[in-house]
């Protein structure tokens, strides 16, 4: 069993009367030398790391190695405890979880890349928050992670999922699409509904550039993880309500590649444009540089 | 079949923040440890390009040390690598260099002094997504990625040595995937790297070390 596009994936699920998750697991077993139990065990390891990283930033303020950022997830958690947030629903929780993971990553903590380290907060944020809200068991969360991975596989078929190649849309955008599909799966959407949620989530983030301050995966990457999680949830809501995406996921990926290729190199992880070259961005970069301790040789 | 495994998309499990500047740096350090045969007593690491510019916020220095100590890229102890190295007695220092625009931006030069008094210099690059390339061992150009098991010989440039070495490997049923050879000059010192799909047996390495003209054998297991 194998698929390279969302359309083929969907067709396999329909033909064989399988869920999207089952197709991904069978394709993985066919392509690798791993047995299904080994594949499940490996994904369980990923989930355990995710569960740890979504919570760590809430129980203690976590600061980045550069000193540029940190403590945002903890601050949000304190506000929630003090009941000063605007809302206390699933959306806020998913955002906090995503934020926590992104902060743990910047602090040299342990994360599971999804699909990259810089976008690692989106998938666990949505899947774990939704799992808690709907009181789902571990097997259901694992299935959702396989659906999320399937979206990443389809996107990675023709695109390099790194900011340097196609901008942030290929990292955070794809992460949101993955989270939306996995979340829609948990919410009981049809296979097409899951893929439509993914397509909508990616469409909402097309064009996103990669212009991080001082070259670090922090500003705007960390807060962007939380925004992408909320974006994914809205797309899950739409799919659950029966709203379809006029543009299928495969086409949204094509659009991402087209836009990414036209994106100026200054806006693709070089820190030569956008936020990185604003007066404040430059000042923060200088401050980071002055933290460096090693001397220059000729 | 999708080209990418499910676990290329969700995974690897790693210590952040960067697959190239942190995880790749750990792998580079670990590869150097394997090449020189353990933790050197002294290492001077020179950082070039993006490694020199952004090592602080990415923890590239700690990651390289962690690798030299033999830690994996998912080990939370990476952020304590400085203290761990100090406790181990190894002296590791850093400086920043500009090796020119042709050199890969994520490059580290490891000048290692070993316990036996010898020195080895290794040049390595972090080539993205955690992948690495070792391009130089002392004076010799190499191309090692850590994906395969490798045996490196230093020997005299004279007839019959390559045949003797490959015969020993054939006798041990080791299939050679890649082989490359370079020399400092005709009849002088030569270096051969042999990469194989399966681990190279220790007794094969011992037999190769005993071949006349072979001065040194290094076993570099896949990362």
A167-202 per-position pLDDT tens digit: 999 999 999 999 999 999 999 999 999 999 999 999
Q: What are phi and psi of B126, to 5 degrees?
A: -100, 110
Please state, for a pLDDT cut of 70, what percent of chain A lies above it: 100
Residues 6+ apart with CB under 8 A from A214: A66, A68, A271, A276, A281, A284, A285, A288, A289, B54, B57
Q: Do B1 and A109 touch (CB under 8 A)?
A: no
Provide mean pLDDT across the span A50-56. 98
pLDDT in tens, B35-45: 999 999 999 99
Q: CA nearest B144: which of B106, B179, B188, B94?
A: B179
pLDDT of B3 reads 67
pLDDT in tens, B89-123: 999 999 999 999 999 989 999 999 999 999 999 99
> If you measure CA to CA, which chain A residue comes closest to B4?
A153
pLDDT of B128 reads 84
Q: Do B13 and A45 touch (CB under 8 A)?
A: yes
Contacts of A3 in chain B (CB under 8 A): 2
Do the beta carbons of residue A249 and residue A151 sit within 8 Å?
yes
Residues 6+ apart with CB under 8 A from A153: A24, B2, B4, B6, B9
pLDDT band for B222, please (50, 70, 90 cuts): very high
Q: Looking at the partner chain, which of B6, B62, B76 has a beta carbon nearest the beta carbon of A28?
A: B6
Q: CA nearest A111: which of B23, B139, B207?
A: B23
List beta partners, residue B120: B112
Burial of A86 (0-12, 13-18, 19+ CB in 10 A): exposed
> If you measure CA to CA, which chain A residue comes closest to B57?
A66
Min Cα–Cα distance to chain B from A187, Å: 21
CA pseudo-torsion sign A231, A236, A241, A243: positive
Q: Which residue has the tokens 């950082």?
A: B47
Q: Please state, rounded to an integer, the average pLDDT across all residues of chain A.
A: 96
Helix H segments across chain B?
6-9, 24-36, 50-58, 60-68, 81-88, 161-171, 202-209
Q: Is the pLDDT of residue A20 over 70?
A: yes
Q: Do B61 and A294 touch (CB under 8 A)?
A: yes
Min Cα–Cα distance to chain B from A71, Å: 16
Domains of chain B: 6-138 (3.30.1330.90), 149-220 (3.30.70.260)
Q: What is the pTM of this model?
A: 0.91
Q: What are phi and psi of A130, to 5 degrees?
A: -70, -40
pLDDT of B1 reads 38
Contacts of B8 in chain A (CB under 8 A): 156
Measured between alpha carbons, how far is B152 from B215 in angstroms, rounded to an integer? Answer: 11
Measured between alpha carbons, how far is A46 from A138 in angstroms, rounded to an integer? Answer: 12
Measured between alpha carbons, how far is A132 from B32 in angstroms, rounded to an integer? Answer: 45
Structure tokens at B89: 């007695």
How many beta carbons lie within 10 A of that of residue A238, not counting itself?
20
Structure tokens at A142: 């694992």
Residue A220: asked if its preceding bond is cis (omega within 30°), the reply is yes
Q: Is the pLDDT of residue B2 over 70?
A: no
First CA to last CA distance, chain B: 26
Q: Is the pLDDT of residue A90 over 80?
A: yes
Q: Looking at the partner chain, which of B6, B17, B54 has a beta carbon nearest the beta carbon of A153?
A: B6
Q: Looking at the partner chain, which of B13, B19, B57 has a beta carbon nearest the beta carbon of A116?
A: B19
pLDDT in tens, B115-171: 999 999 999 999 888 899 999 999 999 999 999 999 999 999 999 999 999 999 999
Do the beta carbons of residue A74 and residue A61 sit within 8 Å?
yes
Q: Do A117 and B50 touch (CB under 8 A)?
A: no
Measured between alpha carbons, how far is A133 from A126 in angstroms, rounded to an integer? Answer: 10
Measured between alpha carbons, how far is A287 from B26 in angstroms, rounded to an integer? Answer: 26
Residues in chain B whose Cβ is within 8 Å of chain A = 1-19, 22-23, 46-47, 50, 52-59, 61-62, 74, 76, 78-79, 94-98, 128-129
pLDDT in tens, A244-275: 999 999 999 999 999 999 999 999 988 899 99
Measured between alpha carbons, how far is A202 from A235 in angstroms, rounded to an integer? Answer: 10
Q: Under DSSP, is residue B110 helix (H, G, I), strand (E, B) or coil?
A: strand
Q: What is the CA radius of gyration of chain B?
A: 18
Contacts of A104 in chain B (CB under 8 A): 16
Q: Do B4 and A157 touch (CB under 8 A)?
A: yes
Q: Looking at the partner chain, which of B4, B11, B95 has a beta carbon nearest the beta carbon of A156?
A: B4
Q: Is the pLDDT of residue A283 over 60?
A: yes
pLDDT of B38 reads 95
pLDDT of A293 reads 82
Provide mean pLDDT across the span B29-40. 96
Measured between alpha carbons, how far is B217 from B206 in angstroms, rounded to an integer? Answer: 8
Alpha-carbon dihedral A248, B5, A16, A138, rounded to 10 degrees: -100
pLDDT of A297 reads 85
Q: Is the pLDDT of residue A108 over 90?
A: yes
Strand extents, DSSP E, B56-188: 91-97, 106-113, 119-128, 131-137, 140-144, 149-156, 176-183
Provide mean pLDDT across the span B16-24. 93
Provide mean pLDDT across the span A61-68. 95
Angle between helices A20-31 and A191-204 (to 10 degrees): 80
């Amino acid at each position: 069993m194998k698929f390279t596009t969302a359309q083929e994936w969907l067709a396999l699920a329909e033909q064989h009367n399988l869920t999207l998750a089952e197709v991904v697991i069978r394709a993985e077993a066919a392509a690798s030398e791993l047995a299904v139990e080994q594949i499940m065990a490996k994904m369980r390891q990923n989930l355990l790391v995710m569960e740890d990283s979504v919570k760590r930033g809430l129980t203690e303020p976590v600061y980045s190695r550069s000193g540029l950022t940190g403590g945002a997830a903890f601050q949000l958690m304190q506000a929630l405890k003090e009941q000063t947030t605007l809302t206390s629903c699933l959306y806020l929780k998913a955002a906090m979880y995503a934020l926590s993971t992104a902060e743990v990553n910047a602090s040299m903590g342990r994360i599971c890349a999804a699909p990259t380290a810089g976008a690692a907060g989106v998938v666990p944020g949505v899947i774990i928050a939704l799992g808690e809200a709907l009181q789902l068991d571990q097997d259901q969360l694992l299935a959702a992670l396989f659906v999320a991975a399937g979206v990443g596989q389809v996107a990675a078929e023709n695109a390099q999922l790194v900011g340097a190649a196609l901008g942030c849309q290929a990292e955070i955008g794809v992460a949101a699409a993955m989270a939306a599909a996995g979340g829609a799966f948990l919410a009981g959407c049809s296979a097409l509904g899951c893929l439509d949620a993914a397509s909508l989530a990616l469409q909402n983030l097309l064009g996103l550039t990669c212009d991080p301050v001082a070259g670090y995966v922090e500003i705007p990457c960390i807060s962007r993880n939380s925004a992408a999680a909320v974006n994914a949830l809205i797309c899950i809501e739409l799919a659950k309500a029966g709203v379809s995406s006029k543009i299928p996921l495969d086409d949204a990926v094509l659009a991402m590649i087209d836009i990414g290729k036209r994106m100026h190199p200054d806006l693709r992880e070089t820190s030569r444009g956008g936020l990185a070259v604003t007066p404040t961005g430059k000042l923060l970069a200088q401050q980071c540089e002055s933290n460096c301790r090693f001397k220059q040789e000729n | 079949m999708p080209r990418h495994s499910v676990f290329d998309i969700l995974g690897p499990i790693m210590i952040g923040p960067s697959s190239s500047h942190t995880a790749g740096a750990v792998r580079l350090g670990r590869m150097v440890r394997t090449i020189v045969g353990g933790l050197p007593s002294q290492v001077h690491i020179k950082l070039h390009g993006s490694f020199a510019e952004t090592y602080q916020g990415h923890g590239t220095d700690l990651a390289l040390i962690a690798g030299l100590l033999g830690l994996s890229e998912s080990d939370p102890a990476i952020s304590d690598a400085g203290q761990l190295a100090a406790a181990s007695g190894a002296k590791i220092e850093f400086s920043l260099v500009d090796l020119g625009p042709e050199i890969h931006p994520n490059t580290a030069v490891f000048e290692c002094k070993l316990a036996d008094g010898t020195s080895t210099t290794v040049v390595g690059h972090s080539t993205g997504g955690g992948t690495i390339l070792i391009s130089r061992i002392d004076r010799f150009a190499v191309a090692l990625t850590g994906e395969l098991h490798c045996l490196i010989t230093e020997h005299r440039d004279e007839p019959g040595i390559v045949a003797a070495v490959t015969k020993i490997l054939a006798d041990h049923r080791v299939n050679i995937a890649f082989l490359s050879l370079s020399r400092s000059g005709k009849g002088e010192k030569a270096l051969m790297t042999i990469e194989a799909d399966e681990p190279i047996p220790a007794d094969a390495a011992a037999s190769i070390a005993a071949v006349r003209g072979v001065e040194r054998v290094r076993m570099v297991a896949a990362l």
